[in-house]
Amino acid sequence: MLAKRIIPCLDIKDGRTVKGVNFVNLRDAGDPVELGAAYSEKGADELVFLDITATHEKRKTMSELARSIARHLNIPFTIGGGITSIDDADAMLAAGADKVSINSAAVRRPGLIDELALNFGNQFVVLAVDARQIDGEWIVHLNGGRIATEIRLFDWVKEAESRGAGEILFTSMDHDGTKAGFALEATAHISELLSIPVIASGGAGNMEHFYDVFTAGKADAGLAASIFHFNEIAIPDLKGYLKEKNVVVR
């Protein structure tokens, strides 16, 4: 049986993980590779690295990071943050990244999805989308949720799929940081609308939230950051809990 995936997300700035990380037994919790390896050891199914560095040298530092992760980790990972062209994506693939995630750049220029899918295959392209509800309608937001667009979430993910996205990473800005659970209805709607996998993000606060997003939310994977980083939920415990509730996990 295909297992539901648990994905920790690491934010990287200047080659170091940001957001405090409260891991014991880690020599250097700020080292993305060491932290990634620790998650892999604990049973994480995949990792997402988001590089939030803003420099002219970004492509070079990101590809060095991807190379270092690929060299040391034996599970798949996605890298994102500022990928806006085929050349950016090609550098990540050459470095050993399994997938790239694109977000605002794809909204600004949807053809980027087609270009990446055509050159590297659909499986390489994760379309990340941040959205929140405005007057009862889910609306796509840019730049980490700060800028509203006029694009409806469900239209956008459908278009992204038809252009060649291989996976959707949906973050509800309404739920992100609340620890009150994922956006179940919107996630389920995307999952039913599309025939590609959906990663749910935003709102995880306890283990039950993951159960909910895999059942009522119909998500293929659940992503979270701080609850894993601060060890509020240990991945082995989460997997044990889900197994007991008959959710298939690795």
Positions in the binding site for other proteins (CB under 8 A): 1-3, 5, 40, 45, 67, 70-72, 74-76, 93-98, 120-123, 166-167, 194-197, 220-221, 250
Strands (E), 85-215: 99-102, 125-134, 137-142, 147-152, 167-172, 198-201
Nearer Cβ to other proteins, position 2 or 24?
A: 2
DSSP state of 232: S
Residues facing 99 on adjacent strands: 78
Nearer Cβ to other proteins, position 76 or 240?
A: 76
Active site residues: 11, 130
Smallest gap from residue 4 Cβ to other proteins (A)? 8
Smallest gap from residue 170 Cβ to other proteins (A)? 15
Question: DSSP string spanning 136-148?
Answer: TEEEEEETTTTEE
CB contact set of 234 (below 8 Å; sequence gap of 6+)? 42
Smallest gap from residue 70 Cβ to other proteins (A)? 5
CB 151 within 8 Å of CB 107: yes
Nearer Cβ to other proteins, position 55 or 123?
A: 123
